[in-house]
Amino acid sequence: MKAVDPDAEGLESLAEGARDLVGTVEPHVLDLTDLGAAEQAAAGTHVLVNTAGLQLVRPIEEFPPDVFHTVLTAMLEAFFRLIRGALPHMYGQGRGRIVNVSSVHGLRAPAFKSAYVAAKHGLEGLSKTTALEGAAHGVTSNCVCPT
């Protein structure tokens, strides 16, 4: 199993803590805003779980455009690139699983969370499109929405 995160120390801790539960965890330091690296990291994946999340709570008129861009890049475009990188292998073996972790905010929008809500709503659509395209190849795509 491969785990990715930009925090090398946190990954090492995860790998140690998960060893008894899931076996060997290969830590892979990755900044999801490096979209090419994200796509490459997913190559050869059998099961892909997208869970990254960033959030800044501000009114739209005060929300920094660069933060909006970063949130959508890390939480939507990177997920697209991870899926895109994983699908050739999954299609080739005739099966695969993609689980996208959305949020209740992917279904219902609160105020002051414009970037997070936009990313989660986009992820809902991306997950559905992936499910429709992947079905013929034995690949499922699901989106879970924890509260």
| CATH for 136 | 3.40.50.720
pTM: 0.92
Check residue 118 and give its pLDDT.
97
10-residue mean pLDDT profile of the chain (147 residues): values are: 87 85 87 95 95 95 98 97 98 98 94 97 98 98 93
> Please, how many CA atoms are within 13 Å of residue 91, restricted to the half-sphere of its CB?
13
Match 């890390």 to its residue by tokens. 74
Instruction: Please measure the distance between the N-terminal and C-terminal CA atoms of the chain and give it in whole angstroms.
Output: 27
Check residue 11 and give its pLDDT.
87
The count of domains in the chain is 1
Residue at 32 is within a domain: no
3-class state of residue 99 by DSSP? strand
Q: Active-site positions? A: 116
Check residue 1 and give its pLDDT.
79
Residue at 13 is within a domain: no
Residue at 28 is within a domain: no
Residue at 5 is within a domain: no
Residue at 114 is within a domain: yes
Check residue 24 and give its pLDDT.
85
Domain that holds residue 56: 44-144
Alpha-carbon span 37 to 17, nearest angstrom: 26
Residue at 125 is within a domain: yes
Residue at 37 is within a domain: no
Residue at 65 is within a domain: yes
